[in-house]
Chains A and B, each alone.
Chain A
Amino acid sequence: MNETYHTWRLTFSVLATVGLYSVLYRENKFYRFFEHLFLGLASGYTMVALWTETLYSQWWTPMVGSHLDPVTHKGADANGYWAYMALLPLGLMAYLVYSKRHNWISRIPIGIILGFWSGQQVQVWWNRYGPQISDSMKPVVPNAFHYVDAQGATQFSLLSPPATAVAQPGAIFGTTALSNLVFVLTFICALSYFLFSFDVKNKLLNGMTTSGRWLLMVGFGAIFGSTVMMRFTLLIDRMYFIWIEWLQDRILPLFLHR
């Protein structure tokens, strides 16, 4: 019974996959059906999950006092935090956005959320970009030309030591310095593209902004390449699902074992 159900489930998934890919040929009702099916399922699942996974455990249970406090170890008879009740009208206010007469009320919860969000931004910005700014200050002059190999002997190297060399903290070998120089130049040129986006007469600055634009294009190209690779992978996964998981592992054995 379970196996039969599983086979039917997979078969329906294959139909849904084919239905969604059928849009590649042209817009059609088969595609529309499965698109709406997916949207309906996702919306329904999300609504239920919001209650079961979040509102019930995070709001309702502590409010009515039937939760187990991990610190006090109080069980079902724990006192409720009835102040949580104040969150209900606050949350419901957001839905007044649909009322022409009272939609101004929805700005109150939105304002509170925006206030929390804005208050975090200075710290958030620094947490995100601070280490990157700090890491951009890279040494571009090599300071190491010798390394210690696995046997403990000191060896000369103009460019970089082999992978088996003993690590030396702070050592900048030739290739690292060159790599850092490329990084720093790219960083300055890309930055100058935004800083000097007015009429620049100086030839050096002009060259830097132009280089910055090209280097940004290279970056965007890399991002586009990664995106294409990911989309291909998703297609490959769907093909694997149809040909291997469904046809080879599920359907063919049904006929071959008869």
Chain B
Amino acid sequence: MSTAQTTLGEKLQSLPKPALYLVLILLTSVPLLVKITIPNKEAKPSANFYTMVTGTVDPTFPAFTTSIDATKPVLIQTDWTTSTRGESAGQFKSLMRILMIRNIKFCFYSAGDPQAPQVALDYISDINEERVKAGLRPYERWKDYVDAGYFPGAEAICNAIQNNFGTAFKNVQDQDAEGAESSVFESPVLKGVRKVSDFSVMILVTGSNTSNIAIERIKSVPMIMMVTGVMGPETQVYYDSGQLKGLVTGLKGLYDMESLMDKDPQFKGKVTTLDNGAKYYPTLHIALLLMIIAIIIGNVGMFMTKKRAA
């Protein structure tokens, strides 16, 4: 009886949720099956990040020329797991592809999640498979990179890294070339490294607020970050104030990275350049379109109801 009295305005404001979810699932599934290219203008923070790790200066931002010393190792704090796979996995993979093609050694650890080091190892393994298929040498654990594991208490480890990296990682071990557990300082990656400033750059790949903790405590090495879309607005201020030298934010940042790699002869044709970012970005636009339409329908319904009541 009551449905017969429901006005169009009220109906527009109370679309059935399951129907909306169904449409959303359809709209986030179908575009994945077709190739759509979205034109892109890289954001300056992403371009700066790219220049830092690749040494390639984007012609759009010629004023920014700083890049890391490829002979020094890179320190990576990886605090993401599969819960932010949609954004962080693509970001991490593009970073790995860049470091590996440039033969830059790296040491990674996590201060955010115990599962993060294993997730990182899994994705390094995937990139290695890709490299082998492309005829490139696989990146070797111990010789090219070390896994320093998980440190509970981001505050404590970041403080320790800043004060004395040698002491902070003193007891950290990883599998050496023979498979035995040995001090990470014995590896070719950390040979000669005693202070955090002995690294060329510190890179955080994170979906949580460990980014704030690192910025608050680590100052002796240039820092760049790859963060999720949620973390973007609060991390952007650190980039604007110069505390971060580069910043990749969410899916847009990832697409920026992939677009820049796709234009760069250093990577084009050698490794996968357009990956998750290029696959997901068009679909995101379509999903956002649905949200905009839903907001418009809801507002039209509200105005119709108000007008009728008046």
Contacts and interface: CB of A to CB of B under 8 A. Distances in A.
Interface of A: 24-25, 42, 45-46, 49-50, 53-54, 57-58, 61-62, 67-71, 116-117, 120, 124-125, 127-128, 131-132, 134-135, 163-164, 167, 219, 222-223, 226-230, 232-240, 242-244
B65 to A, nearest CB: 9
B149 interface: yes
Contacts of B250: 226, 229-230, 233
A232 B288 contact: yes
B228 A70 contact: no
Contact of B85 (A58, A237, A242): A237
Contacts of A57: 149, 171-173
B23 interface: no
A43 to B, nearest CB: 10
Interface in B247-263: 249-251
B63 interface: yes
Given A53-B150, A58-B171, A120 B183 contact: no
Contacts of A49: 114-115, 150
Contact of A128 (B32, B60, B155, B215): B215
A226 B115 contact: no
Nearest to B150: A53
B233 interface: yes
A68 B284 contact: no
B183 to A, nearest CB: 5
Interface string B105-116: 000000000110
A202 to B, nearest CB: 30
A67 B233 contact: no
A167 B66 CA distance: 14
A65 B8 CA distance: 77
Given A70-B166, A240-B279, A127 B183 contact: no
A127 B230 CA distance: 23
B170 A70 contact: yes
Nearest to A68: B183
Interface centre among A49, A117, A227, A230 (most CB of B within 10 A): A230
27 contacts: A49-B150, A50-B150, A53-B117, A54-B151, A61-B171, A61-B173, A67-B171, A67-B183, A68-B186, A71-B170, A120-B159, A125-B216, A131-B241, A132-B237, A132-B243, A134-B241, A164-B62, A167-B62, A167-B63, A232-B287, A232-B291, A237-B89, A237-B280, A239-B283, A240-B279, A244-B32, A244-B33
Contact of A229 (B60, B84, B284): B284
Given A50-B152, A236-B32, A70 B233 contact: no
A237 B228 CA distance: 14
Contacts of B115: 42, 45-46, 49
A235 B233 contact: no
A57 B242 CA distance: 36
A58 B63 CA distance: 45
B240 A135 contact: yes
Nearest to B168: A58
A227 B171 contact: no
B230 A230 contact: yes
A50 B115 CA distance: 10
Contacts of B117: 53
B114 A163 contact: no
Nearest to A227: B230
B82 to A, nearest CB: 9
B283 A236 contact: yes
Nearest to A235: B28
A227 B291 CA distance: 13
A62 B159 contact: no
Contact of B280 (A127, A164, A240): A240
Contacts of A127: 215-217, 219
3 smallest CB-CB distances across A and B, nearest first, come from A237-B86, A49-B114, A230-B229
B32 A239 contact: yes
Interface in B195-240: 212, 215-217, 219, 228-230, 232-234, 237-238, 240
